[in-house]
Amino acid sequence: MTVRVAAIQMCSGTAPERNAAVLADLVRDAAGQGATYVQTPEMTGALQRDRAALRAALRGDDDDVIVQTARKLSAELGIHLHIGSTAIGLSDGKIANRGFLFGPHGEKICHYDKIHMFDVDLDNGESWRESAAYTPGETARLADLPFGKLGFAICYDVRFPELFRRQAVAGAEIMTVPAAFTRQTGEAHWEILLRARAIENGFFVVAAAQGGVHEDGRETFGHSIIVDPWGRILAEAGPSGAAVITADLDIAAVAGARGKIPNLKNAREFSVAPLDVGARTSGGAIA
């Protein structure tokens, strides 16, 4: 089966309502190009460094403007619409970095909360502490859709290959990685990580990204990308600004790639034996 998918690149500002309007235009553009699955980037709703302003704008699932817009668009256009993520207020006062998948009748199929938190100090002086504001997810998701099995990750999750492997073993044929990579880390690792995840698991990867200099001052890498199970780039956007990229995915290529490189089938359990340093230094033999 072949499906046309789209990855939407954005440069989200601090106002969810404005971002929702941009989102609507880009999704309609993607659907007009024949895409029946459309993915938006991480933090579609807003990129906002000011934590107080972010919290003031937070809403629950049903009241969030991005969620409401996505419900209407998916039903209007008859597509599967995947909001890569947006900030959602939780009942305990914390925040979820939450992605949503909507079906062609506007129904919510599932949501996914980003599992791995980006806590890091970069060489350029930037410091990020996602765990200071966001509650990490605990559950991976796998959506069995008419055109294939869809797995979920968000941004920093791409650095944890076990998340991808477990979903591949569970049957994922398309892996989604909406993101807001910084320019610095994106230049170094974005493409190679996504291609590696596709190759080592034999599935398609669709990664919609934020790109450009944002209203809150941060800069993201862009280069939204779609990769096939052999690691080949099917479509890629530029470094900044709004864009729509599309590709036709032949889902049979997943079985073909896994048949040629059957590493999922050949994987074995193993243990790691700690080295006895004392035995070496005392003249003992190391097997």
Predicted confidence (pLDDT) per residue in 190-234, tens digit: 999 999 999 999 999 999 999 999 999 999 999 999 999 999 999
pLDDT > 70? residue 287 = no
pLDDT > 70? residue 286 = no
When pLDDT is cut at 50, 70 and 90, the band that residue 129 belongs to is: confident
What CATH number corresponds to the domain at position 210?
Answer: 3.60.110.10
Strand pairing partners for 191? none
Predicted confidence (pLDDT) per residue in 166-196, tens digit: 999 999 999 999 999 999 999 999 999 999 9
pLDDT > 90? residue 106 = yes
**Residue 237 domain flag:** yes
Cβ neighbours of residue 88 closer than 8 Å, sequence gap 6 or more: 58, 59, 60, 61, 64, 95, 96, 98
Weakest mean pLDDT among 8-17, 99-108, 115-124, 209-218:
115-124
Predicted confidence (pLDDT) per residue in 237-247, tens digit: 999 999 999 99
pTM of the model: 0.93
Distances in whole angstroms, Cα of residue 24 to Cα of each of 104, 227, 281: 15, 25, 66
* % of the chain surpassing 90 pLDDT: 81
Total number of domains constituting the chain: 1
Give me the pLDDT at residue 94, please: 85
Pairing of strands 148-152, 174-176: parallel
Rounded to whole angstroms, the Cα distance separating 195 from 175 reads 11
pLDDT > 90? residue 52 = no
**Catalytic residue set:** 42, 114, 155
When pLDDT is cut at 50, 70 and 90, the band that residue 283 belongs to is: low
Q: Which domain holds residue 201?
A: 2-281
**Residue 286 domain flag:** no
Contact predicate 224/245, CB 8 Å = yes
Weakest mean pLDDT among 5-9, 47-51, 252-256:
47-51
**Residue 98 domain flag:** yes
Rounded to whole angstroms, the Cα distance separating 138 from 159 reads 16
Q: Of 235, 282, 228, 223, whose CA–CA distance to 257 is shortest?
A: 228
Contact predicate 139/145, CB 8 Å = no
Averaged over 150-166, what is the pLDDT?
Answer: 98
**Residue 72 domain flag:** yes
DSSP notation for 160-219:
-HHHHHHHHHTT-SEEE--B--BHHHHHHHHHHHHHHHHHHHT-EEEE-BBEEE-TTS-E
**Residue 68 domain flag:** yes
What's the full length of the chain, in residues? 287
Residue 240 DSSP SS3: coil
**Residue 116 domain flag:** yes
**Residue 287 domain flag:** no
CB atoms within 10 A of CB 200: 16
pLDDT > 90? residue 165 = yes
**Residue 235 domain flag:** yes
Averaged over 6-35, what is the pLDDT?
Answer: 97
Residue 169: left if φ>0, alpha if ψ -120 to 50, beta else—which one? alpha
pLDDT > 60? residue 282 = no
* % of the chain surpassing 70 pLDDT: 97
Give me the pLDDT at residue 15, please: 93
